[in-house]
Structure 1
Amino acid sequence: MTLNILLSARPALWDPYSTALPRACAAAGLDVTLHRDGEIAPEEVDYVVFAPNGPVEDFAPFTRAKAALSLWAGVEQIVGNETLRMPLARMVDSSLTEGMVEWVTGMVLRHHLGIDRHIVNPEQKWQFVIPPLARDRVVTVLGTGALGAACAKALVALNFQVRGWSRSMKQIEGVESFAGDEGFWQALEGAGIVVLLLPDTPATENVMGTRAFAAMAEGSFVINPGRGPLIDEAALLAALESGQVAHATLDVFRQEPLPQSHAFWAHPQITVTAHTASETRVGSASEAVAENIRRAEAGEPLVGLVDRAAGY
């Protein structure tokens, strides 16, 4: 039986996915026809593959669809959509994970080794400063889902003292794991570097505020490739001003692109990157979508199935 797949995303994504997705589906043993928006009646669609910034906002007409498969790892823009009653899966993509691990480990090593003092050295000072060994630095990863767990494992391999925190307890080899409200503060206590990989939910908004920054080691570092609302911006600026936090590297923001007038741009203790920590690659994303369609057709659980109550 031929399955009808709707790809609902920005027009620029049609060309790469129109080749890669059918190829991945064929490799998974699936007979599919890929349609763009407006080319097929909603009631004839078997699966909706979508980006949350694409044209489909009302999922109610897709009465036959078995699942909505997001091209994004984050689902905060769609999880509350009351018209979306079918199973919803977020993107779990190997390249997304690999890219995040590379970015996070790079930024952690940058701050751990104090690389900036040598890159930005206009006075050409000979700065003989010996960094600590990784075994003497506590790195806390807040959010140990698929991305966070992979980053934590990579940091363990580099010999850091790694702590991990999530809403429910996770067991990751080599990582000191924490969960719940009390565990949150235990994970932060004395941390030299904190990596934020939590989802954006009402419970996580401003999770990094004045008290959280104060719990970290003095002169610590904050790295946020997760979600902009995790950080209380005023509290971060105050922590940087006092020296409690030495530097913040931020890849995500409440408003993107970050407005040119925003204080973060010119702040000497903040590095701004343009939401580039990791990106979905068309080839591996197509394989992930094809695998989830295969699983759905076989009656197997979807990878990345979203818990609507939890919000991720």
Structure 2
Amino acid sequence: MEFYQSSGTSSVDYGVDDRGPKSGKAPSSNEDRLDSGLDSLKEDEYAEVARDIGRLRVDCAPRAREECCEPWKHEVTEDGDTFLHLAIIHEAQDAAVRIIEMSVSDPFLNKQNYQRQTALHLAVVTEQPLVVERLLEAGCDPTLVDNNGNTALHIACRTGSLSCFSLLTQNCQEHLPAVLHTPNYSGQKCLHLVSIHGYLSLVENLISLGADINAQEQCNGRTALHLAVDLQNSELVRLLVNRGADVNSVTYGGHTAYHLTYGRQNTDIQKILFDLTANDLRELPDSESEDSEDDYKDEELSDEEIYDDIKMMGQK
């Protein structure tokens, strides 16, 4: 079987959309690569790849398939994409489903390309619920992360795909608690991602499924409530407060959600949080810069003390 390698990349953007989960495909950006060669393959090369996929042994009996050699499972492009990756990238759904049927419980399903994307990641990125469902039924591992630390559910949360989100949460009960508590490499868990993008229904779903409503981002300690205030999303603030979010939780810098209302135009959020926040946590904490300035004021060094480590000709 002749195999063609791709030579380019393209990308997809998971943009913020405060209107709620999306049902269409995500637009392009440079953050995450959607494919390894969608735009780089010429028409004749793409047609040849499609023919190669079509020539796969789909008529073999299960026992015969185990015994016969299937070299196509080991073929990868220069970007590490398998035939299954390519079929999903090019939305050749029938071919993808046939490959999945031939690879049930096979480690091949979990192969990661050079951006550590599995077929499941790409199926969510391209929003192909049927392929997501077949992959999960065939034994694809939903806990694997890409090179940004995102599981397939992280991606569904960021894109707001209701269909992929439902499939991943309903068909991964065994792994769901671990996935919900897994932060990506930006320190964000699934609840943080849906909060940032304002997907209220997904926020409620995640909390109902066991996501920690007070989980803190690893980089700065913000909770979903802090993020809601930062984004001035009053609906999300109310939802989180009603679901029991801790208004007294502080970031690593010592700031409550109420502190983040200072200087913001939305007075409704400030009113909601003022009465709920503990009295001793309403005042802004002293900044580190002020503390450090005071320290230096109390300590005046002479020129001799400042430059006492300079040596000339071996002498101080």
Please give the range of the TM-score, normalised by the shorter of the 2 chains: under 0.3
More helix by share: 2
TM normalised by structure 2 equals 0.25
TM normalised by structure 1 equals 0.25
More strand by share: 1
Higher relative CO (Cα under 8 Å, sequence separation at least 6) belongs to 1
